[in-house]
């Protein structure tokens, strides 16, 4: 085992159980790769964790889960940041880059309820709790007879509110449940032709300072190339849509040999209008494919929709 490029690394993360599980995985992998590295977890409180009574779209967007961590990265308090990539805004701050992506977990959503086995089996008027406009739009497009109410908090908080009867059902990301060892709470998996996942759902990214060669070298071997190709297509689509959590957008890229297939969706929050497209091309053109699909979807929406 060759000498590591650095001897210590401060790994920045949110303090939620899922975020910590992901950061510990990165730390453990770094220790396994580099016997001489000591990686230390640094928990950073984010605005997104502090504000739990409103949708993110009402208080500034999904960047509220990353802003304080990125500030700590830029001012040197941490050496790298571990993020759920679906929480990372479309454009990174100047001076940072995603240096590695862990192998993607299952990107599907799951349905959780004690009152029905699936979304389609819920009784008319049932209440589904979610803070995601993407999920809300697709639920209401499929089942306009249901009610959607805001449900914020980490996985444990949402499951507790469901058990207390605050809502009749909820949707969560399967990847997060798997990483927490809670996949068995799912009533059923939701296939991607029913609810398209969030862009980069299931992927964990490592953000570093641009030009920090020792840290870049330390994390390089953690990068899963097929995942990086898929995420590049999805995030290129998001950039073309100028997407944020104010906009119901879904996206999923899948690799089959040397070909990549990208499915994208954009909808009105009330589900009354929902556009879904699928395009395929060479994996080496993943980013260009994402941009083209995003532009095509954008052209289908009302002119003022993205204002």
Terminal C-alpha separation, the chain: 53
Contact predicate 198/250, CB 8 Å: yes
CA–CA gap between residue 181 and residue 24 (Å, rounded): 14
Residue 52 — φ and ψ, nearest 5°?
-120, 0
What's the CA angle centered on 204, arms 198 and 205, to 5 degrees?
110
Catalytic pick from 87, 109, 168, 212?
A: 87
Cβ distance 263 to 278 under 8 Å?
yes
Instruction: Tell me 123's DSSP state.
Output: P
Backbone angles phi, psi at 272, to 5 degrees: -70, -20
Class of residue 93 by CB neighbours under 10 A (exposed 0-12, middle 13-18, buried 19+): middle
CA 126 to chain centre: 27
Q: Which residue has the tokens 């739990």?
A: 52
Residues pairing with 12 in the sheet = 42, 81
Element at 28 (helix H, strand E): helix 17-33
To the query of whether residue 28 is one of the catalytic residues in this protein, the response is no
Please compute Rg for the chain using Cα positions: 19
- Residue 13 sits at φ, ψ, to 5 deg, of -160, 160
Residues labelled catalytic? 87
């Amino acid at each position: 085992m060759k000498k590591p490029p650095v001897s210590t690394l401060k790994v920045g993360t949110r303090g939620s159980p899922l975020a910590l599980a992901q950061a510990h995985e990165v730390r453990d992998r770094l220790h396994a790769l580099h016997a001489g590295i000591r990686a230390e977890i640094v928990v950073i409180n984010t605005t997104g964790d502090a504000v739990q009574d409103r949708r993110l779209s009402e208080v500034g967007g999904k960047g509220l889960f990353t802003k304080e961590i990125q500030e700590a990265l830029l001012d040197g308090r941490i050496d790298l940041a571990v993020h759920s990539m679906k929480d990372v805004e479309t454009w990174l701050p100047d001076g940072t880059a995603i240096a590695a992506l862990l192998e993607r977990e299952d990107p599907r959503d799951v349905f959780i309820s004690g009152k029905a086995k699936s979304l389609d089996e819920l009784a008319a008027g049932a209440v589904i709790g979610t803070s995601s406009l993407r999920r809300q739009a697709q639920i209401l497009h499929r089942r306009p007879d249901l009610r959607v109410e805001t449900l914020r908090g980490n996985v444990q908080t949402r499951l507790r509110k469901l058990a207390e009867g605050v809502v009749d059902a909820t949707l969560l990301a399967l990847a997060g449940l798997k990483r927490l060892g809670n996949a068995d709470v799912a009533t059923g998996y939701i296939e991607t032709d029913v609810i398209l996942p969030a862009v980069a759902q299931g992927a964990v990214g490592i953000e570093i300072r641009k030009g920090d060669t020792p840290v870049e070298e330390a994390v390089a071997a953690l990068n899963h190339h097929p995942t990086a190709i898929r995420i590049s297509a999805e995030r290129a689509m998001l950039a073309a849509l100028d997407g944020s959590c104010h906009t119901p957008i879904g996206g999923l890229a899948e690799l089959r040999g040397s070909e990549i297939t990208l499915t994208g969706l954009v909808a009105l929050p009330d589900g009354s209008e929902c556009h879904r497209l699928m395009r395929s091309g060479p994996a080496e053109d993943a980013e260009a494919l994402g941009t083209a699909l995003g532009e095509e979807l954008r052209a289908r929406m009302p002119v003022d929709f993205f204002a």
